């Protein structure tokens, strides 16, 4: 019996040592690269009315995590006098400041001057400056022709005439806005189009593989005097053709291979949707089993359990044989 207890103790020690322990470190993210998208907005309480907006989110042109946005607005001056309206197009960036090359803004088909304003600068969390110093270095050359060994001594006295500087930021999301002015005659209707490209979020919080998550903020448009006739079109990537979830109702057009939705007025909530390679997310059990880290738990536990079963069977057989010998 004592031998059996020792064997079981060793097996339990193996179980403790082989089972992985939960560690908090640089784990892979579930959601990252999230670049929210904003609609055009006025820089004050405007007298302009949005009589129509056509929003196209095209995910098909490049990689499945890239979205080309084209927002076309038809706006009307509701006053009986000329109006110069200042407008803002907010942007976010997690890889440095966005530039004017990232956006194309046109009024009635012609590009207009745009200024970039950085609202929140990235705080600097590291700074390094260093002057080159004197050094002595031995370099050994082996000549293949003569096989002679030559030692050269390189000496430099005093500081090097160069200075190096390096700085990094905290990696936080940078927020800014493109600003521009549009002139309106009394009662005039003008077409304003904004084109830009963003990277979609990659989300696998509810799926095995990454889904594309797009967030388009509509609420800034509430600053216009009125808003009506919003049409939303989503063109999916061939690798992610299915709309997994959407905050606003979108209907699939099989012939055009795209999703669309029409809204008479500005919706009460922003547009957030996910695209995926299948119609429904995988079951919870499948998501668990598809996790490669689960093998770190299952395989050691299975091995230890197999050892325990084997040892138990061997011990029971030995005990049975011992009893039979005693009877004889």
DSSP string spanning 63-92? Answer: -TTEEEEEEEEEEEE-SSS-EEEEEEEEEE
End-to-end CA distance of the chain: 22
Cβ contact 218:266 at 8 Å: yes
**Residue 234 and residue 28: Cα distance in Å, rounded?**
29
- The full set of domains in the chain, from first to last, is 2-20+293-327 (no CATH), 31-121+172-282 (2.60.40.3680), 131-165 (no CATH)
How many residues does this entry show for the chain?
328
**Residue 75 and residue 246: Cα distance in Å, rounded?**
27
Along the 328 residues of the chain, how does pLDDT read in single tens digits? 444 334 434 443 443 344 443 332 322 233 334 455 556 666 556 788 999 999 999 999 877 678 888 999 999 999 899 998 888 777 655 444 445 566 788 999 999 988 877 665 545 444 445 444 444 444 444 444 444 444 444 444 444 444 544 444 444 455 667 788 899 999 999 999 988 887 777 777 788 788 888 888 888 888 888 999 999 999 999 999 999 999 999 999 999 999 999 999 999 998 889 998 888 877 666 555 565 556 666 677 778 788 888 888 887 887 777 777 666 6
* Close Cβ partners of 112 (under 8 Å, ≥ 6 residues apart): 105, 106, 180, 181, 182
DSSP 221: G
Indicate the burial class of 81 (C-beta count within 10 angstroms; 0-12, 13-18, 19 or more): exposed
**Residue 292 and residue 285: Cα distance in Å, rounded?**
13
pTM as predicted: 0.62
List the structure tokens of 317: 């057989």
Distance of CA 247 to the CA centre of its chain: 19
């Amino acid at each position: 019996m004592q031998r059996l207890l020792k064997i079981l103790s060793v097996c339990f020690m193996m179980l403790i040592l082989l089972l992985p322990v939960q560690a908090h470190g640089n784990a892979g993210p579930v959601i990252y690269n999230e670049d929210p998208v904003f609609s055009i907005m006025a820089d004050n309480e405007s007298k302009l009315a949005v009589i129509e907006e056509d929003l196209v989110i095209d995910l098909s042109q490049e990689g499945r995590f890239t979205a080309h946005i084209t927002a076309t607005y038809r706006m009307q001056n509701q006053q009986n006098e000329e109006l110069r309206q200042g407008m803002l197009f907010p942007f976010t960036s997690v890889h440095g400041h966005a530039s004017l090359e990232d956006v194309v803004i046109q009024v009635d088909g012609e590009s207009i001057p745009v200024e970039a304003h950085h609202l929140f600068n990235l705080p600097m969390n590291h700074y390094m400056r260093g002057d080159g110093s004197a050094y002595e270095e031995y370099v050994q050359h082996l000549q293949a022709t003569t096989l002679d060994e030559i030692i050269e001594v390189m000496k430099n006295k005093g500081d090097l005439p160069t200075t190096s500087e390096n700085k990094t930021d905290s990696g936080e999301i940078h927020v800014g806005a493109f600003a521009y002015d549009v002139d309106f005659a009394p009662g005039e209707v003008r077409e304003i189009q904004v084109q830009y490209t963003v990277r979609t979020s990659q989300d696998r919080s509810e799926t095995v593989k990454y889904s594309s998550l797009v967030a388009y903020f509509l609420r800034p448009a509430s600053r216009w005097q009125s808003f009506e006739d919003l049409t939303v079109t989503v063109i999916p990537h061939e690798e992610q053709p299915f709309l997994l979830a959407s905050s606003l109702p979108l209907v699939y057009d099989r012939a055009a291979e795209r999703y669309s939705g029409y809204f008479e007025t500005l919706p009460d909530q922003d547009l957030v949707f996910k695209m995926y390679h299948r119609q429904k997310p995988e079951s919870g059990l499948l998501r668990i089993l598809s996790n490669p880290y689960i093998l770190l738990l299952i395989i050691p536990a299975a091995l230890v359990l197999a050892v325990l079963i084997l040892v138990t069977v061997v011990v029971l057989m030995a005990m049975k044989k011992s009893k039979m010998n005693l009877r004889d």
